[in-house]
A = this chain, B = another copy of it.
Amino acid sequence: MRLTQLFTKTRKQIPADEEARNAQLLIQAGFIHKEMAGVYAYLPLGKRVLDNIAKVVRQEMDAIGAQELQMTTLQPKELFERTDRWDDKKVDNWFKTKLANGSDLGMGLTHEEPIVQALKDYVNSYKDLPIYVYQIQSKFRNELRAKSGLLRGREFIMKDMYSFARTQKEHTELYENAAQAYNKVFDRLGLGKLTYRTYADGGYFTDKFSDEYQTISNVGEDTVYVDEKKMLAINDEIYTPENLTKLGLKKEDLLKKRGVEVANIFPLESKYTDALDLYYTDEKGQQQSIIMGCYGIGVSRLMGIIAEHFADENGLVWPASIAPAQVYLIRLGDDDKVTKAADKLYDDLKKANIEVLYDDRDTRSGAKFADADLLGIPYRLVVSAKTLENDQVELKQRTGQEVTLLAIDKVESSINKP
């Protein structure tokens, strides 16, 4: 896309009403717009990053046989009363609204109940299981405070998946398959080495642990103890000698760190399925409970942590896998030869399916270089009268210092596609 066509612009001033570095940077770069605390709109470049993260998540969920659907935001009170999750004393962060006829509705903050309810039309026999279903969509949580930018939203984008198994053994297989898929997601997002599968409290209706995925970062709000060799961690909340023994972790191998919870997996046993009467009939005709798991990934939170964690003093630094473009192409000066060469390079790269932000603005070179850095695009190319003397282009990677000159016809093969 040509920057003269893009409606957003960068700004130098740090937004005064933002404490969180991720929101400051993303607003300065024109990726997001703050509607209110914890509620952000995604402008064109931000929408691309969000969609790219969602695509990675979607591919890995599809790869384990999960089926995508889209549940609704509006939720009836009655459904959540049946699992005792409607009352504000039980769940304190609902946004609630009313139908014109006065009936109470909630705005979806999690979808165990509606998914179980929907499956009642389709699941009866042992032949209908196991199942994974998932969705990627906006969720709503009425947080008292929301000062962490995309890290803690009142409206945020989440992938939530649910598994339904016939036996504990089958449940464990689904659970571990999903855990492997999660590792692949974090690897592809560039967070693999930073993100620990972390034992956490399983909730009041199971004696199992749950799993959090904690990305180690100084901006994290959670405290975790990590075993770097095993790539495992334990959450502060359950950090007791008994639990360490149970989990085979040794105090001397653990380092205290701060982390951001980017995903989680909960064993739900048959709490929701039993409560809503979703059972299956086994081979012998006996009615059996269904074991459920739920698997969340914070898609917009990941955008926030990636923005904040990888940023340097010059701005954002996107991993290639989710960058809004691969190349930031700078045209220096506007003489005919330069414009023609830059236009042609832009067209050629587009034809090669390489996403390019083309800085075709008539603005000073310093501003162009600064924007290339602030926007965090992996490759920067510069075309100028000087580089064209030898039919060359200047190439620099966002993460490096080295500037190299490259024959113009070698550019395409020098860009790694994600």
A→B interface (CB under 8 Å): 5-9, 11, 30, 33, 35-36, 39-44, 46-47, 50, 65, 67-76, 93, 95-101, 105, 107, 114, 118-119, 121-123, 128, 131, 133, 137-138, 140, 142-144, 154-155
Contacts and interface: CB of A to CB of B under 8 A. Distances in A.
12 contacts: A6-B67, A33-B118, A35-B71, A35-B74, A35-B75, A44-B67, A73-B140, A74-B155, A93-B100, A97-B97, A107-B107, A137-B138
A42 B134 CA distance: 11
Contact of A72 (B8, B35, B46, B122): B35
A142 B101 CA distance: 9
A9 B122 contact: yes
A364 B95 CA distance: 48
Contacts of A155: 72-74
In order of increasing CB-CB distance, the 7 nearest A-B pairs are A42-B70, A33-B118, A44-B67, A95-B97, A41-B71, A97-B97, A35-B72
Contacts of A107: 73, 97, 107
Contact of A74 (B36, B101, B105, B118): B36
Contacts of A105: 95
Nearest to A154: B74
A70 B97 contact: no
B68 A44 contact: yes
A72 B40 contact: yes
Nearest to A78: B36
Contacts of A100: 93, 142-144
A140 to B, nearest CB: 7
A138 to B, nearest CB: 6
A44 B69 contact: yes
A118 B43 contact: yes
A44 B122 CA distance: 13
A101 B144 contact: yes
Contacts of A142: 99-100
Nearest to A75: B35
Contacts of A41: 69-72, 114, 118
Contacts of A11: 121
A257 B26 CA distance: 51
Contact of A39 (B35, B68, B72): B72
Nearest to A5: B65
Given A41-B71, A99-B142, 6 more contacts: A7-B122, A35-B72, A35-B74, A41-B69, A47-B70, A99-B154
Contacts of A35: 71-72, 74-76, 114
A118 B100 CA distance: 30
Contact of A69 (B47, B72, B133): B47
Contact of A8 (B7, B46, B122): B122
Contacts of A7: 67, 119, 122-123, 128, 131, 133
